Structure 1
Amino acid sequence: MMNHEHAEHTVAEHKHGENCGHEAVQHGDHVDYLHDGHRHAEHGDHYDEHDAPAEHTVAEHKHGENCGHEAVQHGDHVDYLHDGHRHAEHGDHYDEH
């Protein structure tokens, strides 16, 4: 489900794209950018906020070598790109990053 609220800043203030410094995530027919704890996509002269997909547990899917999801080193742990979001294992669940 998408939330179509408008972001706090405009495209003129910051233009997302290659080498902008923010993680790009394919989201259906467009790209969302992970930025300051939220995700958004360009829409004309502003960005629309998009909801992160629902959280799932380690029991539902265990990430690791050969799980089929891209692994990304993130400080002292590994995040996995999964269904348009990025998360890391934390006990019996995943934290969204």
Structure 2
Amino acid sequence: MPEQRSIVAAALGLHARAAAIFVRAVTDTGLPVTIRKPNGSAVDARSLLEVMSEDFGHGCEVLLEVAPDALPGPTSVSNAADSLRSLSAVLERPELN
């Protein structure tokens, strides 16, 4: 399963503007990405409401994942991994707010 660990760097965490920017980036990938805390439940990262309802605060470690059965072929796994790295870079930008 393609996955990527990241740290939320935005001063206010994933609230309002930062969450909207992140969700837009996820939606642009076209992939069914989930986000969760390491021991938490996954939520749909394409849903602004679900992302904002979780407590993804500043400094919070998160895990981004794409289920392998959601991908059409082996090349897609590599593409999904690249997309997750890009999404991680979005989360790790402190100026996201």
Structure with greater strand percent:
1
Do they superpose with TM above 0.5? no
* TM-score after normalising by structure 2: 0.30
Report 1 or 2 for greater relative contact order, CA contacts < 8 Å, sequence distance ≥ 6: 2
Instruction: Decide which structure has the larger Cα Rg and report it.
Output: 1
